[in-house]
Structure 1
Amino acid sequence: MENEVTRRARCNFHKLIAYGFEKQVGQYIYHTIMMDVFNVEIHVDEEGNLSGKLYDMESGEEYVNHRIKQQTGEFVSKMREAYFEILYDIVTNCYDAQPFIGNQSNRIAVYLKETYGTTPEFLWKKYPGHGVFRNTQNQKWYGIILNIHASKIMNEDKEIEILDVKIKPEQLEELLNKPGYYPAYHMNKKNWITLVLDETLSDEEIKQHLDESFHLSNCKK
């Protein structure tokens, strides 16, 4: 539940204290009361990861039914809604919005804004994690960050973010023999290639490909 509300947000630790969090060793803690029934204890660790627990005010026992999808009923539904409201309020007031999920993806987005003045365009409602970067001089695409299931390009069961960039066709074979490179996902497989944004490749290597891709987007046929 907590991961859902922080998927595209980064904690601003300065705002936590102003919100009411108390700084302790290795974490920040916030307490509140929910629906006059539960004590709520919210934790934020040093990496900005959000977690929380509910405790029955009478028994002191932890309440977990709101996390069990199979649990239904009016009371549980109200509990989930009230807990989400607390989480969303914390994220709204203490976290800064980020265009993408992964740290490397967001670092790359910052680089492209600072270097080429381009910000991601999210063109598809069905795919809110797909951000396109255009060359502002001619509106051509030179980079696309996509949020996909890893099984689309590799034999792994997880969610990943990838980057498609333009390349010279003669580079393709050599790059595909290196870790972190895959045939272009949803783009021309002769002129584009996919890079995995999971720290397999260094930021500098990725930036070099983006610089070349931007240059190629300027080239005339």
Structure 2
Amino acid sequence: MTIEENIFKRYLPDFKKLKDYGFIKNNDAFKLEKLFKDNMFKAIITINSKGSVKAIVYDLENNDEFLPLRVENNQGKFVGEVRVAYENLLKNIRDNCFSKKYYIFPQSNRIADLIIQKYANAPEFLWKTTPGTGVFRNPETKKWYLAILDIDRNKIQKNKTGLVEIALIKLSRENVEKRLKQEHIYPGWHMNKKHWIAVILDESLSDNEIMELIEESHSFTIKKS
């Protein structure tokens, strides 16, 4: 994950605020050139219409890209100072021009919004060690019916890698057996696999299909009369 991806991974840009900050619109993207670290370095930052942030950092003394910035195991003092100054610049842009979103990927955020509309129930982020894990639970019974979290794809799809977000959904044992025969549905990761399934939130299943599964899961949390 790049420096930019890490800092902006759960944020969405406000394009009006970007213009007010000094970004210039160029075709389908916004661009900013900014000096930092005592004007020794220049960052050229580009944000596209989907909110993806890319940047090149130049060492102005050599008039060349400062590649040590991108080497994670480069722990030299000066490189570390440049990296901190650059990260602070990005965080300032983020705090002034971006709004927080719950998750990294579009379908994850759409599902969260649909749940909020249907059940008036926002995700709870309970663990500092896994800040991307949001749990949905019925406020009356405190029972979980959904968790959305980010993992490496190879945790549930062997021989494939890359960051993904998954939905963990509770179903009846009979429905778990039936659903696992379908494409794009997997055994629950880190959960009781007799009762939980996992769905990768990468558009493999439609929002409606996922919400149908969540409705069944939510039904288990309702207080019995």
**TM-score between the two structures when normalised by the length of structure 1:** 0.93
The residue that corresponds to 1:179 in the other structure is 183
Gaps of 5+ in 2: none
State the partner residue of 2:68: 65
For residues 72 and 127 of structure 1, the distance between their equivalents in structure 2, rounded to whole angstroms, comes to 25
Matched, 1:158 2:162: yes
One-letter amino acid matched to 1:141: W
What is the CA distance between 1:74 and its match in structure 2? 2.1
Shift of 1:219: 6.0
User: Pick from 35, 39, 44: which aligns with 2:42?
Assistant: 39
Q: 1:125-140, aligned counterparts within 5 Å? A: 125-140=128-143
Q: Deviations over 1:84-109 (max 9, x none)?
A: 01111111111111121111111111
1:102 pairs with one of 98, 102, 105: 105
Aligned length: 221
Equivalent residue, structure 1, for 2:198: 194
Distance in 1 (CA, whole Å) between partners of 2:89 and 2:62 is 22
Structure 2 residue aligned with 1:142: 145
Residue in structure 1 matched with residue 77 of structure 2 by the alignment = 74
Q: Look up the match of 1:205.
A: 209
1:66 to partner: Cα distance = 1.1
> SS of the residue aligned with 1:217?
coil
**Counterpart amino acid of residue 116 in structure 2:** K
Q: 1:8 aligns with which of 7, 10, 27?
A: 10
- The structural deviation recorded for 1:112 is 1.0
Unaligned runs of 5+ in 1: none
Tell me the percent identity: 37
| Counterpart residue identity of residue 72, structure 2 | K
Give the one of 24, 27, 32 matched to 1:25: 27
TM-score normalised by L of structure 2: 0.91
Amino acid aligned to 1:174: K
How much does 1:210 deviate? 1.1
